[in-house]
A and B are shown apart, each in its own frame.
Chain A
């Protein structure tokens, strides 16, 4: 009838062909082979810089440090097979192993020094150890310190200063490829989502048992649960607690281990509501930690009785009176402190309402839920809690400009295997570090002295005394209220054997894993 200027049929068939071509395009990587170990874990690899993604490369067994931490927290030889320290504690000498980088370069003192020279200035924690100079001396690497630093070995585990081959750096000193010494090397990288690892055949130690690993980042917790239930991965890290039952009945083995991470309620001690220690104690006593641990975290053992969990045996003290819910005692404390209840049931003192807004964020999905639970619990002692869910960084910004009232966050206690790294930053530093979730408006000179003493001390007995003193002050003063500890939940495929969980999350020990055919 009517003639049309366009041939619709041609248009349609063109569109169809185009879509089919797109759909059928060769994919980025080949489908998983049978001998490949498939890992699903939540963290994307955004960049190749060790200061940013170093933890991934060490966990996956690609990079190594001079010394390594064992799952029980002890420090073991890594790329250094032995070490010694001078009597004044200023000079540390490391005897290097006969190791080969992934590109075939040999590790010697000169390449190690070159790596340190590039990475030390941008390292996250090691630079706080006060390393004045790095020397190559034969097969020995010598570190000279500005002043004695007791926990140096723990700081050397810092994966942002792992050893890389000279060829790993570009002209400007930036990392252009990860060429490490670990049991696996990177075969192909599809940043930020996936790394294809292959076995490093010239590894100095026992060679990895699997020839290839696919290391995928799966950010969404529900998706990781689905992958575990479908058994579409061999090891799924950070499984959501709600997925445990389903993954278990699908035949995955579930491993749960309490890791050194604490969900904390931050208080701005400069605000009149939170200035006095008895009032902070009352707030702490209002919290139903067991209810939160059992109901929300799905593990009753996670109720935090003190700041540092039992996983850190040296830092966990059985003689500290456990933090427990006691609403009656909390109310009595507040009455005694002069905070009478108003008509609406909320307390007030000198025109200041016993109230505040807690800032939290949803990257850790349990945090807003915990905040909602605390809202009801704090009301019972006459505290009016409002909730604001936003970006994690907003807490730091409010800390800095003094507007923070409360914050609900999560703190990694072992940024280095010794929690002193975290405590020094969070409780004893003059400025607030952006990545820390530490005290706000609180200063305790006694604690600072103990921290300084511990850092300079090499003697084990005296260090233990300082540890107890530090833990005691934190426990009494409660500038931060611990809420729950945290457990790493891993779902492991039945065909996998030899899997080890590392509570410190420094390494995933994938090289020890075997797959049954």
Chain B
């Protein structure tokens, strides 16, 4: 942004991109911090005794005793003023320490790494699978809007979008695990365990993205530059390849990043259904247990992941349409 910094970076488009990346990184860290702080505030504002819920999460509802609650309160410093607790978290964070889980007593980073690894693999697989389904279908539909493929795909997309993801998952389990017995119904140990959860996620994602892709294709095919190209004598396909793809890809790339929110929600459901040890599951359980350091840590990771996905999408948009740089570079 400042003159000093712009002289520091190499000039030209690459420099602008680098500057965007740098400013986005700063923003990402800030977003993650604000998100974690919001989590803290939210959880503190919830009614009820946090120490009681932590003790119950450690031992199960039946086995909580007044002593175990008192022990949690004292050992974890939950009797301190709220601001002091927040300050100590920030203080530790400044030293690169996320603290430990109030339930398992393990370091937060360790739990996050264990669960995050599963989630990242599943998310990436699900996301890629969704585009492997949606891209060819969406483009084909966009080329023949109103055709039988378009109508069929539309009905299917609507059906998938109006069914909760757990039902889609249960349908897949019934077919592939219980009837055909090709795949295991739940678990996380082998690659075969990943197929059904990833497919569940992918179908939910594709239901939306196939329509977005189709519409983007229809939109650019009706745009004046396409008409112009057609008038110049290009065939429909060639005009689309030369002029349309870039323009159609912009809303698609934006939407791909937007689906991050869906993926995180999807994780929560899919991980529960498939007994898959990921971040979504961790986040819900931590929230119910009022495991504040865990929630804040998970909040930060989710925030950073979100920022990374968006940065990639924005860079893709810039790559597709360098005019966008002009507005930012100034």
Contact = CB atoms under 8 A, between A and B. Distances in A.
A–B contact, 8 Å CB criterion (strictly below): yes
Interface of A: 1-2, 4-6, 8, 11, 15-16, 18-19, 22-25, 27-32, 43, 46-47, 49, 51-53, 55, 122, 124, 160, 191-193, 216, 218-220, 222-223, 226-227, 229-230, 232, 250, 363, 391-394, 396-397, 412, 415, 431, 433-435
A223 B275 contact: yes
Contact of B14 (A5, A23, A27, A220): A5
Contacts of B117: 22, 25
A22 B124 contact: yes
Contacts of A160: 63
Contacts of B273: 220, 222-223
A interface: dominant SS: loop
A435 B124 contact: no
Given A5-B319, A396-B52, A412-B62, 14 more contacts: A2-B322, A4-B320, A6-B315, A8-B316, A11-B312, A23-B125, A52-B58, A55-B63, A122-B67, A216-B187, A415-B62, A431-B66, A433-B65, A435-B62
A413 to B, nearest CB: 11
Contact of B178 (A49, A55, A223, A230): A230
Contacts of A431: 66
B186 A223 contact: yes
Contacts of A55: 60, 63
Interface of B: 13-14, 17, 48-49, 52-53, 55-69, 103-106, 117, 120-121, 124-125, 127-128, 170, 173, 177-178, 181, 184-191, 194, 242, 246, 272-275, 277, 288, 312, 315-316, 318-320, 322
A119 B272 CA distance: 34
A41 to B, nearest CB: 12
Q: Which residue of A11, A55, A218, A392 has the most chain B CB atoms within 10 A of its CB atom? A: A392
A431 B70 CA distance: 15
Contacts of A23: 121, 124-125, 191, 194
A19 B53 contact: no
Contacts of A1: 242
B45 to A, nearest CB: 15
A431 B288 CA distance: 26
A220 B246 CA distance: 45
Given A397-B48, A434-B55, A230 B184 contact: yes
Contact of A397 (B14, B52, B63): B52
Contact of B53 (A24, A43, A47, A393): A393
Contacts of A397: 48-49, 52
A187 B277 CA distance: 20
Nearest to B166: A222
Contacts of B188: 27-28
B196 to A, nearest CB: 10
Nearest to A6: B319
B53 A229 contact: no
B188 to A, nearest CB: 7
A53 B61 CA distance: 12
Given A11-B316, A223-B272, A434 B322 contact: no
A29 B189 contact: yes
A193 B320 CA distance: 45
B44 to A, nearest CB: 16
Contact of A46 (B58, B120, B194, B275): B58
Contact of A19 (B128, B277, B322): B128
27 contacts: A4-B319, A5-B13, A5-B319, A5-B322, A6-B319, A15-B124, A15-B128, A25-B121, A46-B57, A46-B59, A51-B63, A52-B59, A52-B60, A160-B63, A216-B275, A223-B273, A226-B173, A229-B185, A230-B181, A230-B185, A232-B177, A232-B187, A392-B61, A393-B52, A415-B63, A434-B52, A434-B65
Nearest to B243: A1
Contacts of B61: 363, 392-393, 435
A422 B127 CA distance: 51
Nearest to A218: B275
A216 B274 CA distance: 13
A161 to B, nearest CB: 13
B17 A5 contact: yes
A268 B234 CA distance: 82
Given A23-B194, A31-B189, A391-B48, A435 B17 contact: no
A226 B185 contact: yes
Contact of A435 (B64, B189, B272, B319): B64
Q: Which residue of A6, A24, A227, A415 has the most chain B CB atoms within 10 A of its CB atom? A: A6
Contacts of A52: 58-60, 63, 68
